[in-house]
Amino acid sequence: MTITKPKLVTIFGGSGFIGRHVVRALTKRGYRVRVAVRHPELAFHLQPLGGVGQIQAVQANLRYRWSVDRAVAGSDHVINLVGLLFESGKQKFSAVHDFGARAVAESARAAGVPLTHMSALGADPHSHSLYASTKGRAEAAVRNVLPEAIIIRPSIVFGPEDNFFNKFGNMARISPVLPLIGGGHTKFQPVYVGDVAEVIARSVDGVLKPGEVYELGGGEVLTFKQCLEAVLRVTGRKRWFVSLPFWVARLQGRLLGYLPKPPLTRDQVVLLQKDNIVSHAAKAENRTLEGLGIQPQTIETILPSYLWRFRVHGQYSSQTPA
Ligand SMILES: NC(=O)c1ccc[n+]([C@@H]2O[C@H](COP(=O)([O-])OP(=O)(O)OC[C@H]3O[C@@H](n4cnc5c(N)ncnc54)[C@H](OP(=O)(O)O)[C@@H]3O)[C@@H](O)[C@H]2O)c1
């Protein structure tokens, strides 16, 4: 009798916010997971997400092609979740998003294994934002190298350890005012990290259409201001909103961008100038969560489970403070 080993999935960026949820979704399905990260010694927190020997961490840096090939060797599926929010040192958008995505795609093609590539809504080679333009070039490179690769484009992703709602939850805790960048009119479609992980796991299962681009948004379209109102509602706080014109926010972002871990960069402000929602074409062609039969989780259900730590004790209310 021959015993077949469960499939091995290599995840670049598996130690990040979305990566952790993808690792959990895959181990639950019984896959073996190889997490390829720059500092494997910092990926021990992933071990409880799988059984004994189910998760291994290996060293890889997308800026070094040989390390990518080494991490891909022997895998049955490759996922690239690596992304930057801001540049620092050698971690440039062009090197990590653009060159790195091509390196992973070439490596997956050479190994003859399928690839799921994580992009973002708004990815566009012609965007004025470096994040969005390098994400757009990455998509083009992936498509060119491996036409059957599956590309996932989420809107802003929420869940424990997210970068958006936690940031404003913390800001609401210490600051009397919250900034409405560009008046707070930009539209988002926040999508739950667990829903994103489920789609990626289905991609590994082989149930998504090869060569397709999936656009993932939650059930509600919310303006930037409505997102902040949700944070205040959940944390039971009352704060003033201050409208910041885009040009002022860009200036502020440029100055904050010199910090080692900037809370806001000029590039992020440029990104905020465009709505971040699922396209009509994706909806019409069922390249969405709903199209895959997944009912998106709402922020009202999930935010209280992790923003509680910014809450005024006993003040949670389902109404927006006046
Ligand atoms: N979070 C969102 O709201 C959102 C929305 C749309 C799209 N996305 C996309 O989703 C993906 C994952 O996002 P996330 O929020 O989970 O990001 P994250 O928490 O910052 O995780 C990024 C991951 O990339 C790894 N990484 C960074 N530079 C690397 C390099 N040179 N070589 C190898 N690994 C590297 C990081 O590990 P080390 O730094 O330890 O190596 C980490 O595991 C990204 O592509 C992002 O653009 C995210």
Ligand 1 probe mutation, 17, 96, 119, most atoms within 8 A of CB: 17
Q: One digit per residue, pLDDT tens: the chain, 322 residues? A: 666 778 999 999 999 999 999 999 999 999 999 999 999 988 888 989 988 889 999 999 999 999 999 999 999 999 999 999 999 999 999 999 999 999 999 999 999 999 999 999 999 999 999 999 999 999 999 999 999 999 999 999 999 999 999 999 999 999 999 999 999 999 999 999 999 999 999 999 999 999 999 999 999 999 999 999 999 999 999 999 999 999 999 999 999 999 999 999 999 999 999 999 999 999 999 999 999 999 999 999 999 999 988 988 755 444 444 3
Residue 312: its pLDDT value, please? 80
Q: Whose CA is nearest to atom 33 of ligand 1?
A: 61
Q: How far is the CA of 301 from the centre of ligand 1 (A)?
A: 25
Q: Whose CA is nearest to atom 44 of ligand 1?
A: 83
Residues with CB under 6 Å of ligand 1 are 12-13, 15-19, 37-39, 42, 60-63, 81-83, 91, 96, 118, 120, 154, 156-157, 163
Residue 317: its pLDDT value, please? 47
Q: How far is the CA of 317 from the centre of ligand 1 (A)?
A: 33
| 44: CB partners within 8 A, 6+ apart | 57
Q: How far is the CA of 204 from the centre of ligand 1 (A)?
A: 19
* H helix and E strand count, the chain: 12, 13
Q: Any idea where the domains of the chain sit in the sequence?
A: 8-154
Residue 3: its pLDDT value, please? 63
Question: In degrees, to the nearest 5, what angle opens at C-alpha 233 toward C-alphas 228 and 238?
Answer: 80
Of 212, 209, 229, which is closest to residue 220 (Cα–Cα)? 229
Q: Which atom of ligand 1 is nearest to the CA of 121?
A: 6
Ligand 1 probe mutation, 12, 78, 80, 81, most atoms within 8 A of CB: 81
State if pTM tops 0.75.
Answer: yes
For residue 11, the surrounding DSSP H or E stretch is: strand 8-12
What would the two tokens of residue 99 be?
């060159």
Q: What is the CATH number of domain 8-154?
A: 3.40.50.720
What would the two tokens of residue 194 be?
């667990």
Residue 315: its pLDDT value, please? 52
